[in-house]
Amino acid sequence: MNIYIYASSYDENSGGSVVLHRLCHIINKHSSHSAYLVKLDPFHYGKKTIRKYLSKLKWELCNKFKFKTNDDWDTPVWHKLNNIPSNSVVIYPEIINGNPLKIKNVVRWLLHQPGHHTNVIDYGKNELYFKFNSAIHDFENDGSYTAANELKVIYYPVQIYNEKLNQERDIECCYLVRKGFYKKSVHPPKAIKIDGLTHQEIADVFRRSQKFISYDDYTAYSIFSVLCGCPSYVVPTEGQTVNDWYPDERDRYGISYGFTDEQAKWAEETKDRVYRHIINEHNKSIDRVINCLQEIEVFFGKN
């Protein structure tokens, strides 16, 4: 079975990019199937605005030819879009509208809540949905099915963040905004913003910081800071409880959801479980992919 994964260029600071490329690598290395990356055309997500048309033009003239992959992974790029076998499967991240590759068998990988990033949900019928983890809400669409298995694939540069160095914590606070741009600012005036820095640069800041605040509910940097010995806080989304945030408590290890004494105590008491949990999740990623491939075969074998 050929599997085509619709993905943006590889970017070590983009979780969505990393897991889509990693999924391709795992399929090729640990299954009998063949996986290929297909360059994601930005025209196929979000609303069709003037800005979107300009983005499309830039992509056609420039960005399409700068597509990057991870040199250490088995992630071939498929260029012959008019020559895709009819029995193939396509995997789209949840942001993609419709079925731009026109492949019959569609898998939709819900890396975030459908519509969260784009305010648009444009899915077809007879699709198979996989949730990334426990934070993704149940989603129903007429004629489609949500898989029993979660497709949680992670790849974290643990070696960068888990290096034990004794450094003076001379930075009062650092913070990350990313997808939490709409939240009220709570960090101190001299806090250091880490958005856009490399992993090594961020690790260096974490090791010198007394506190890390994330406005983004769902980012791996919240646990990376814990690995560096920096207390990690997430600014809660209004109306979202800690159990709504992550129903599986293992995903909350080492992180304080908000600034209450109760949450700070939870983070302190569970921080030593973070590294082992990450290693376990890395190891489980392969098994999850194999299980989901089996579910894909069964589902589309009935259509």
* Residue 205 vs residue 165, higher pLDDT: 205
Where among 104, 138, 155 does a domain terminate? 155
* Confidence label for 303 from pLDDT (cuts 50, 70 and 90): very low
In a domain, 302, yes or no: no
> In whole angstroms, how large is the CA radius of gyration of the chain?
20
Query: What is the CA 238 to chain-centroid distance, rounded?
Result: 22
Helix (H, G, I), strand (E, B) or coil at 258: coil
**Which residue from 91, 69, 110 is spatially nearest to 4, judged by alpha carbons?**
91
Mean pLDDT is lowest, of 112-116, 128-132, 156-160, 266-270, for 112-116
Out of 105, 125, 155, pick the residue that ends a domain: 155
Distances (CA, A) of 246 to 35, 136, 256: 31, 9, 12
177 and 131, same structural domain?
A: no
Do 148 and 188 belong to one domain?
no
pLDDT range class, residue 264, cuts 50, 70, 90: very high
Q: Are residues 96 and 203 in the same domain?
A: no
User: Within a domain: residue 220?
Assistant: yes
Assess if residue 296 is contained within a domain: no
Q: 162, 4, 169: which is closest to 84 by C-alpha?
A: 4
Alpha helix (H) ranges present in the chain? 15-30, 50-61, 158-161, 199-208, 221-227, 242-245, 261-270, 274-301
Whether residues 115 and 253 share a domain: the answer is no
Structural domain including 218 reads: 158-275
Binned at pLDDT 50, 70 and 90, residue 21 comes out as: very high
**Are residue 175 and residue 145 in the same domain, yes or no?**
no
d(CA 92, CA 76): 17
User: By C-alpha distance, which of 207, 3, 184, 14 is closest to 89?
Assistant: 3
Question: Are 140 and 23 in the same domain?
Answer: yes
Tell me if 24 is assigned to some domain: yes
* Residue 182: strand, helix, or coil: coil
> What pLDDT was estimated at residue 41?
82
173 and 84 in a common domain: no
48 and 124 assigned to the same domain: yes
Tracing tokens 């960005």 back to the chain, one arrives at 63
My answer on whether 129 and 217 are in the same domain is: no
Q: Which of 64, 84, 60, 57 is nearest to 2 (CA)?
A: 84
Strand partners, 212: 174, 232
Whether residues 108 and 131 fall in one domain: yes
> Is 302's pLDDT higher than 50?
no
- Residue 175: partners with Cβ closer than 8 Å, 6 or more residues away: 187, 191, 192, 193, 194, 212, 213, 214, 215
Does residue 190 lie within any of the structural domains?
yes
Q: How far apart are CA 129 and CA 110, in angstroms?
A: 7
Domain stop point among 100, 130, 155: 155
CB of 134 within 8 A of CB of 150? yes
Sign of CA dihedral 246, 250, 256, 261: positive
pTM: 0.80
